Amino acid sequence: MTHSDEIPRPRGERDVRYFKGSTDGKRPLTKDPLEGAASAYDLVVIGSGLGGLTAANVLGRAGHGVALLEQHYNFGGLATWFRRKGGHTFDISLHGFPIGMKKTCRKYWTQEIADSIEQLDGVRFDNPQFSFETEFTRVDFTNKLVDVFGLERAKVEAFYDELRRMDFFDPTTETTGELLERCFPGRNDVHRLLMEPISYANGSTLDDPAISYGIVFSNFMSKGVYTFSGGTDTLIKKMKAELVANGVEIFNSVLVDKIVIEESPMGERRVAGVEALGRFIAAKAVVSNANVLTTVHKLVGAAHFDPDFVAKAGKVRLNTSSCQVYMGVRDGAELPWVTDLLFTSTRPTFTSESLCDFHGESRTFSFYYPKTRPQGRPRYSVVSSTNARWEDWAELDQAAYDAAKDKLAADTLACLEGYVPGVGGLIDHVEVATPRTFAFYTEHPTGTSFGTKFEGLEVSTQLPDEIGGLFHAGSVGIIMSGWLGAANYGAICANKVDAWLYSLAEVSA
Amino acid sequence: MTPEEVVVAIKDIIQTIAPDEEVDGLDMNERLRDQIELDSMDFLDIVMELRKLYGVQVPEEDYKELGTLQGCVDYLGPKLADKELHCASRA
């Protein structure tokens, strides 16, 4: 079975010519993207999401010879941005991440990057069950649950303490929905407050394991929501500079075709390097920041794994994708202050499925004010995000697809109008991204924007046991997702790669 | 390295990972993470520094041995016996 049989490719987007002379919609290559690349490295990193970037930086800094290969022309994976005519810059995932990102950036990047991380001023919920502004801290959530929802303070504290005590290595079989129902029975409004932000942050649902919820909740809904002052473009520019300073050789527009595996006469499998743009690059270790299923099926190939492992990988469920609507305010116009991050819904009650509804009534708005890029001209934009299912979008023909995108844009603008009357007159650029768009730009199967469900983590961490020198640092298992999860997973992976390279050096010494 | 120097080496590594923490008064037998803000990612960083500075490999199943300063001395002492102390924070 080939990869393309197992994982559907996007329709439509592949046929569109975005660039003159392009055959697949992507920017045609005018020079050799691998110009200057060596024939061998200690380590090749495939993909420059925050996991790949962080692994590359930690290992480059540790003195290993590292090459980083990115298929897109921008580095950063879904930590990205794009520009449009009229001076618009849109950030895909900048708002927001937990405070832990400050420490992660200080340790694995630079103090300067860490120092640009700032708390959002406003986070707001607005739905038929409750409507308020929150600091997004443990203290404020506790006060809201007591004062607005009428819960006993002791019960709320007990919930927080139970989540803190959860042990990753000794998980229960309880689902998140069961946990919330046990702690706050019959309180769909409480479940909504405690679950909705997490679902938007990592695509998880009430059916996912309570342990994944507990870990993310304790990190995320604890000390506020943070952003990078200067914009995603500034962050990635600083990260690229740091990589280069640490001796990492970085290459964009390089789509890796294959991870090459060699097998010893004893049957031991090891990575030999990668194949990209018709060239072989030798490597003692390979870190894949591609999706874990892409890594197994497409980059390595099932034939190089034990059948039991392939069967286990076959049970890994991909997480959902996203729809986004990017709305740019015209140069010179001002958007009045609403809040930084708004969780809004017109649905009377909360279900996980409703966050993925094809034409959902639930969405988040990220408001980007001039403070996002204090270094530039004062500009405003709004990005709405919803979770979305590939199946809902994949098979639409071009006319139906265009109509669905137009409807999503119109619905989103109508919803925004409720918070900013007259906003339609301020906006001069509207653009829609769907799961097909995410698939096109990221090369992720079914456009997944949150990696895999929980079981993907085990497959990801077991890759080095299957094939010596093969590591994975992509978004998996719900907990290794989002900016903080991805960057930390890159650092965890780097420690394993460092141990592997050290043991190889010991053997040959 | 003497056992006393092992303690200096560990405290020095902790200082580079958690510069805001006070390491001088750390108790030998109390769990490190109960005395200062050290999370599981920080312990990974300690392991990586030990490998980089002293060529010591700590397999994952032994991470628990590094929970206290005394645990570090007991576990790392033999591995570091013939190594020279160098301080990362002043390197």
Q: b/e per residue, A403-417, with b = 16+ CB within 10 A?
A: ebbeebbebbbebbe
Cα-based angle A199, A201, A202 (whole degrees, multiple of 5): 70
pTM of structure: 0.94
Sheet order of strands, A131-134 included: A131-134, A123-126, A341-345, A362-368, A381-388, A321-329, A427-433
**Cβ separation of B55 and A499 shorter than 8 Å?**
no
Q: A-chain residues within 8 Å CB-CB of B57? A: 499, 502-503
Report the pLDDT averaged over residues A367-380.
97
> Among candidates A255, A241, A320, A240, which has minimal Cα distance to A290?
A255
Residue A355: which pLDDT band, with cuts at 50, 70 and 90?
Answer: confident
What confidence score (pLDDT) does residue A25 get?
65
**Cβ separation of A503 and B47 shorter than 8 Å?**
no
Distance of alpha carbon B52 from alpha carbon B44, whole angstroms: 12
Residues A183 and A298 in one domain: no
Question: Using an 8 Å Cβ cutoff, are A211 and A164 in contact?
Answer: no
Mutation test of the interface with chain B: which of A58, A103, A497, choosing the one with the most B Cβ atoms within 10 A? A103
> Among candidates A94, A98, A339, A340, which has minimal Cα distance to A228?
A94
Residue A11: which pLDDT band, with cuts at 50, 70 and 90?
Answer: very low
**Cβ separation of B55 and A495 shorter than 8 Å?**
no
Q: A-chain residues within 8 Å CB-CB of B38? A: none
Question: Using an 8 Å Cβ cutoff, are A260 and A280 in contact?
Answer: yes
Distance of alpha carbon B81 from alpha carbon A280, whole angstroms: 43
Distance from CA of B76 to the nearest CA of A (A): 17
Distances in Å between the alpha carbon of A132 and those of A126, A377, A506, B17?
A: 7, 31, 59, 39
Q: A-chain residues within 8 Å CB-CB of B41? A: 104, 107, 488, 491-492
Question: Using an 8 Å Cβ cutoff, are A481 and A215 in contact?
Answer: no
Q: How many domains, chain A?
A: 3
Tokens 């962050």, located at residue: A235
Distance of alpha carbon A451 from alpha carbon A478, whole angstroms: 7
Residues A180 and A240 in one domain: no
- What is the domain range of residue A162? 137-220
Report the pLDDT averaged over residues A467-486.
96
**Cβ separation of B41 and A492 shorter than 8 Å?**
yes
Residue B36 has pLDDT above 50, yes or no: yes
Q: A-chain residues within 8 Å CB-CB of B37? A: none
**Per-residue pLDDT reduced to its tens digit, A70-129:** 999 999 999 999 999 999 999 999 999 999 999 999 999 999 999 999 999 999 999 999
User: Does A413 fall in a domain?
Assistant: yes
Residue A12: which pLDDT band, with cuts at 50, 70 and 90?
Answer: very low
Which of A420, A442, A464 is where one domain is finished?
A: A442
| A284/A354: higher pLDDT | A284
Distance of CA A170 to the CA centre of its chain: 27
H/E stretch holding B45: helix B40-54
* CB of A107 less than 8 A from some CB of B: yes
User: Does A59 fall in a domain?
Assistant: yes
Residues A418 and A397 in one domain: yes
H/E stretch holding A134: strand A131-134
Q: Which of B17, B44, B55 lies nearest to residue A495, judging by beta carbons?
A: B44
* CB of A398 less than 8 A from some CB of B: no
Distance of alpha carbon A153 from alpha carbon A145, whole angstroms: 8
| A29/A288: higher pLDDT | A288
Distance of alpha carbon A203 from alpha carbon A386, whole angstroms: 10
Q: Quote the tokens at residue A116.
A: 């640009």
Residues A357 and A303 in one domain: no
Distance of alpha carbon A225 from alpha carbon A220, whole angstroms: 8
Residue A227 has pLDDT above 90, yes or no: yes
Q: Which of B17, B41, B52 lies nearest to residue A62, judging by beta carbons?
A: B52
Residue A491 DSSP label: H
Which residue in A has a C-alpha nearest to residue B20's C-alpha?
A: A103
User: Does A280 fall in a domain?
Assistant: yes
| CATH label, B3-81, candidates 1.25.40.10, 2.40.30.10, 1.10.1200.10, 3.30.413.10 | 1.10.1200.10
What confidence score (pLDDT) does residue A20 get?
53
DSSP string, A261-291: EEE-TT--EEEEEEEETTEEEEEEEEEE-S-
Distance from CA of A108 to the nearest CA of B (A): 10
Residue A169 has pLDDT above 90, yes or no: no
> Among candidates A357, A368, A369, which has minimal Cα distance to A411?
A357
Residues A334 and A422 in one domain: yes
Question: Using an 8 Å Cβ cutoff, are A159 and A145 in contact?
Answer: no
Which SS3 state, helix, strand or coil, does residue A486 take? helix
Which residue in B has a C-alpha nearest to residue A168's C-alpha?
A: B40
Q: A-chain residues within 8 Å CB-CB of B52? A: 62-63, 498
Residues A438 and A361 in one domain: yes
User: Does A373 fall in a domain?
Assistant: yes
DSSP string, A312-330: HHHTPPBPPEEEEEEEEEP
Exposed / middle / buried, residue A425 (Cβ in 10 Å: 0-12, 13-18, 19+): exposed
Report the pLDDT averaged over residues A252-259.
97
Residues A360 and A468 in one domain: no
Distance of alpha carbon A82 from alpha carbon A89, whole angstroms: 6
Distance of alpha carbon A347 from alpha carbon A412, whole angstroms: 15
DSSP string, A99-119: THHHHHHHHHS-HHHHHTEEE
Q: Which of B41, B48, B51 lies nearest to residue A488, judging by beta carbons?
A: B41
Residues A186 and A296 in one domain: no
Which of A395, A412, A442 is where one domain is finished?
A: A442
Question: Using an 8 Å Cβ cutoff, are A7 and A452 in contact?
Answer: no
Q: Which of A107, A499, A503 lies nearest to residue B45, judging by beta carbons?
A: A107
CB atoms inside a 10 Å sphere around CB B73: 18
CATH number of residue A485's parent domain: 3.50.50.60
pLDDT over 70 percentage in chain A = 95
**Cβ separation of B48 and A498 shorter than 8 Å?**
yes
- A/B interface, count of CB pairs below 8 Å: 28
Residues A312 and A455 in one domain: yes
Q: Quote the tokens at residue B69.
A: 């300063």
User: Does A23 fall in a domain?
Assistant: no
User: Does A493 fall in a domain?
Assistant: yes
Distance from CA of A488 to the nearest CA of B (A): 8
**Cβ separation of A492 and B57 shorter than 8 Å?**
no
Q: Quote the tokens at residue A464.
A: 């080095």
**Cβ separation of A62 and B57 shorter than 8 Å?**
no
Residue B89: which pLDDT band, with cuts at 50, 70 and 90?
Answer: low
Distance of alpha carbon A475 from alpha carbon A52, whole angstroms: 10
Torsion of CA A407, A408, A409, A412, to 10 degrees: 120
> Among candidates A448, A437, A486, A220, which has minimal Cα distance to A356?
A448
**Cβ separation of B51 and A107 shorter than 8 Å?**
no
Q: Quote the tokens at residue A339.
A: 């809040």
Which of A163, A198, A220 is where one domain is finished?
A: A220
Which residue in B has a C-alpha nearest to residue A501's C-alpha?
A: B51
Chain B residues touching chain A at CB-CB below 8 Å: 17, 41, 44-45, 47-48, 51-52, 55, 57
> Among candidates B2, B63, B14, B64, which has minimal Cα distance to B42?
B14
Q: What are phi and psi of A137, to 5 degrees?
A: -120, 165
Distance of alpha carbon A454 from alpha carbon A451, whole angstroms: 10
Question: Using an 8 Å Cβ cutoff, are A296 and A476 in contact?
Answer: no
User: Does A11 fall in a domain?
Assistant: no
Q: Which residues pair with A131 in a beta bridge?
A: A126
Distance of alpha carbon A459 from alpha carbon A506, whole angstroms: 28
**Per-residue pLDDT reduced to its tens digit, A30-64:** 789 999 999 999 999 999 999 999 999 999 999 99
* CB of A488 less than 8 A from some CB of B: yes
Distance from CA of B44 to the nearest CA of A (A): 7
User: Does A94 fall in a domain?
Assistant: yes
Q: B-chain residues within 8 Å CB-CB of A58? A: 48
